[in-house]
A and B are shown apart, each in its own frame.
Chain A
Amino acid sequence: MFNRVLIANRGEIAARIAATLQQMGVTAVGVYSEADRAAYHVSCMDEAYPLEGKTAAESYLRVDKIIDIAKRHKIEAVHPGYGFLSENAAFAQGCVDAEVFFIGPKPEVIRKLGDKVNARQLMAEAGVPVVPGWSGGEKDDAAQFEREAEKIGYPVLLKAAAGGGGKGMRVVRSRREMAESMESCRREAGAAFGNSRVFMEKYLPKPRHVEFQIFGDTHGNAVHMFERECSIQRRHQKIIEETPSPALTPSLRDRMGDAAVKAAKAAGYSNAGTVEFLVDDAGNFYFLEVNTRLQVEHAITEMTLGLDLVRLQLEIASGQKLPMSQEQLRPTGHSMECRIYAEDPDRQFLPSAGVVERFLPPVGPCIRIDAGVTEGSAVSVHYDPQLAKVIVWGHSRNESRARMLWALQRFVVLGLQTNLEFLQAVLDHPEFRAGRLHTHFLEVHAMPRADRTTPDEALIAAALAASNGTGRRDAGRDRSNGGVATANPWQSLSNWRSA
């Protein structure tokens, strides 16, 4: 096993990976941009080294800087997390060239699957069903896309060939929107992935997003670790995930699991990956893409299988065999994840920057919090505004849904706008309760607005807080030094009475 592992990431995933490394007795080495000098993830590391530069492109996306740090600080393996360089074949190759293990699949596999256009072709050849679409021509001009879109039928979805995580995606509903959408999609793709090539797929009405966790080792073995349903999305980004999917029958699960393993083997896959599918009402499924990394929502699979996927990633990367067969993988119960973002659901989920003035995650049975911030953290405009993930487990879907609702109702975040209240409304929606999910759920169903009447309790709490006191006679007295009054906040409240 490795002794020193570099985590080439930030936020909650960097903190989560560090936890496993430290639990395994491995030194967790972090990196941080100029904007992240005081970031929470740095405090979770055993060692950390600065990457100059504020923006992602100047810091976490700089292959040269990260490999240089790895070499200078005797790093044996690099964990890329998700996002940033996690699906960058050149980075994986750079690690290999520098004789540092890359914790993920081989560079050529990342390259093959990372190009969504190639991946589609590979899967179609392996007999895995794909979404009708067009892979782009020699040069991506709008006129050609318009012609092909007419054949497929509007609306169509423009996607970044190098994309993932919902970035660089545009729905095009008519010919008129094509040119501007393509330009915008290219720019976003270029900024996020360093590759501006786009392709097009038919925009399916009301599909479910169901993905399978796969794991392969370097000895030719591959298994799937069952599904995650991630249909609740905004801006094409998942916000609620669960396993098992309420839509899968045992036979559909078997067929999709087989297809996922087939996909893994066709690609010569090793380490953790995810095969994403769309599932329609009739139970047809279509291959979407393979994410060649650990997913944000990996924790729900950990909950139902009792595994630490980061630990498994390290074992596989160091050359060990998969420690289990497909038959030995038996999920138990139901798990759900909610992603907590600094954003305003009332204003098209626009990011909200600011300081996390108060941060108190819920504590209780079968509740796991993966956080990327702490009290006092600043959320800047430079990076993804994800604050934390709440992950729960229950015997049944209903039990974990109720547990999640309980947890969200007790999660205190003050200082910036979050989606915590919005998530509660989604969990309580009759269609969500019934498990009737699809990727346009949030566009189709308006969440009922909570009663905005301010309760008396809020006024009372504010009135006491405004007096800068606790209302106690002994407040401010330091009991350890014989009850000598220090600052007495009570005085400010007593002024009210005399006024």
Chain B
Amino acid sequence: MRTLAFTTADGLSREISLRRDDEGDGFFAAKLEDETLNLELQSLKPGVGWLRIHGKITPYHAIRIKNEWRVWIGGRIFVLRIADRSIRAKPSSAAAKGTTLSAPMPGSVLKILVSSGDSFDAHQPLIILESMKMELTLSSPHEGTIKNLACAVGELVAMGQTLAEFESGDGHDSPA
């Protein structure tokens, strides 16, 4: 029996194996860590169906986006990252974390208020992004110096794209 491993949104590693029961179509035994649950699971197409555990019905919808499963249950969405034991998460150094300003939303660069080499104060507006007719001013919670500007006015940027690199006077906490 193959075991699937997921990492949940709260950072826990969870393992599950699902085995078909002899009782008939849709009957399963699910092994979660030390617990085994007997359940009925009816699904008419992949990613849509309902579970019945001790009589309690739970409808679900699940889709996969990249290496994540997003599962809708009872009006809430749970993100389950497919754990791949062969790839270890890159250790993030505190220094590397604090030296880039990245786009918190997709959009276009409306204004760049600093130049390369400029030093800035904490909370000083650095870059203004525009998305869906809304403006968002980006600043750093700490003072610092701009090392490199990685975007240009009018450029369309993706969420998480690096907009600027800087040396932080404080050395921690990424800008928000």
The 0/1 profile, CB within 8 Å of B marked 1, for residues 469-499 of chain A is 1111110000000000000010001111101
Is there an interface contact between B51 and A457, defined as CB atoms closer than 8 Å?
A: yes
Is there an interface contact between B14 and A464, defined as CB atoms closer than 8 Å?
A: no
Is there an interface contact between A452 and B104, defined as CB atoms closer than 8 Å?
A: no
Is there an interface contact between B30 and A465, defined as CB atoms closer than 8 Å?
A: no
Q: Looking at the complex, which one of A187, A452, A468 makes contact with B10 (CB distance below 8 Å)?
A: A452
**Is A328 on the interface with B (CB-CB < 8 A)?**
no
Is there an interface contact between B62 and A461, defined as CB atoms closer than 8 Å?
A: yes
Known: A468-B46, A470-B49. A462 touches B37 (CB 8 A): no
Is there an interface contact between B73 and A458, defined as CB atoms closer than 8 Å?
A: yes
For window 125-171 of B, CB contacts with A under 8 Å fall at 125, 128, 130-137, 156, 159
**Is A419 on the interface with B (CB-CB < 8 A)?**
no
Is there an interface contact between A381 and B30, defined as CB atoms closer than 8 Å?
A: no
The 0/1 profile, CB within 8 Å of B marked 1, for residues 406-446 of chain A is 00111110110000110010000000000000000000000
Q: How far is the CA of A358 from the CA of B60 in the complex (A)?
A: 12
Q: Looking at the complex, which one of A353, A464, A473 makes contact with B49 (CB distance below 8 Å)?
A: A464
Q: How far is the CA of A64 from the CA of B158 in the complex (A)?
A: 33
Q: Looking at the complex, which one of B12, B53, B61 makes contact with A360 (CB distance below 8 Å)?
A: B61
Chain B residue nearest to A459 in the complex (CB): B16
Q: How far is the CA of A235 from the CA of B12 in the complex (A)?
A: 34
For window 46-63 of B, CB contacts with A under 8 Å fall at 46-47, 49, 51, 53, 58, 60-63
Binds B, one of A202-210, A286-294, A382-390: A382-390
Residues of A within 8 A of B132 (CB): 351, 381-385
Interface residues of A, dominant DSSP: mixed
Is there an interface contact between B26 and A472, defined as CB atoms closer than 8 Å?
A: yes
Residues of B within 8 A of A472 (CB): 25-26, 43
**Is A325 on the interface with B (CB-CB < 8 A)?**
no
Is there an interface contact between A456 and B75, defined as CB atoms closer than 8 Å?
A: no
Residues of A within 8 A of B136 (CB): 350
**Is B80 on the interface with A (CB-CB < 8 A)?**
yes
Q: Chain B interface residue count: which class?
A: 35 or more
Known: A360-B61, A470-B44. A461 touches B133 (CB 8 A): no
**Is B112 on the interface with A (CB-CB < 8 A)?**
no
Residues of A within 8 A of B25 (CB): 471-474
Is there an interface contact between A357 and B65, defined as CB atoms closer than 8 Å?
A: yes
Residues of A within 8 A of B114 (CB): none
Is there an interface contact between B61 and A188, defined as CB atoms closer than 8 Å?
A: no
Is there an interface contact between A381 and B106, defined as CB atoms closer than 8 Å?
A: yes
Q: Looking at the complex, which one of A167, A235, A458 makes contact with B71 (CB distance below 8 Å)?
A: A458
Q: How far is the CA of A450 from the CA of B32 in the complex (A)?
A: 23
Q: Which of A347, A450, A452, A465 is packed against the most chain B CB atoms within 10 Å?
A: A465
Is there an interface contact between B2 and A184, defined as CB atoms closer than 8 Å?
A: no
Residues of A within 8 A of B14 (CB): 454, 459
| Distance from B63 Cβ to chain A, minimum over Cβ atoms (Å) | 5
Q: Chain A interface residue count: which class?
A: 35 or more
The 0/1 profile, CB within 8 Å of A marked 1, for residues 61-99 of chain B is 111110001111111111010100000000000000000
Is there an interface contact between A457 and B131, defined as CB atoms closer than 8 Å?
A: no
**Is A453 on the interface with B (CB-CB < 8 A)?**
yes
Q: How far is the CA of A499 from the CA of B19 in the complex (A)?
A: 12
| Distance from A190 Cβ to chain B, minimum over Cβ atoms (Å) | 11
Known: A382-B132, A454-B9. A460 touches B61 (CB 8 A): no
**Is B115 on the interface with A (CB-CB < 8 A)?**
no
Is there an interface contact between A180 and B72, defined as CB atoms closer than 8 Å?
A: no
**Is B122 on the interface with A (CB-CB < 8 A)?**
no
Residues of A within 8 A of B71 (CB): 458, 461-462, 465
**Is B108 on the interface with A (CB-CB < 8 A)?**
yes
Closest 10 interchain pairs by CB? Answer: A409-B75, A461-B60, A496-B2, A465-B62, A470-B43, A462-B69, A454-B8, A458-B78, A350-B105, A458-B71
User: Apart from A353-B159, A470-B49, what 18 extra A-B contacts exist at CB < 8 Å?
Assistant: A350-B104, A351-B105, A351-B106, A353-B131, A385-B132, A412-B61, A415-B65, A455-B58, A458-B71, A459-B16, A460-B41, A461-B73, A462-B69, A465-B69, A466-B69, A470-B46, A471-B20, A471-B26
A residues neighboring B (CB under 8 Å)? 56, 167, 180, 184, 187-188, 191-192, 235, 347, 350-353, 357-358, 360, 381-385, 408-412, 414-415, 420-421, 424, 450, 452-474, 489, 493-497, 499
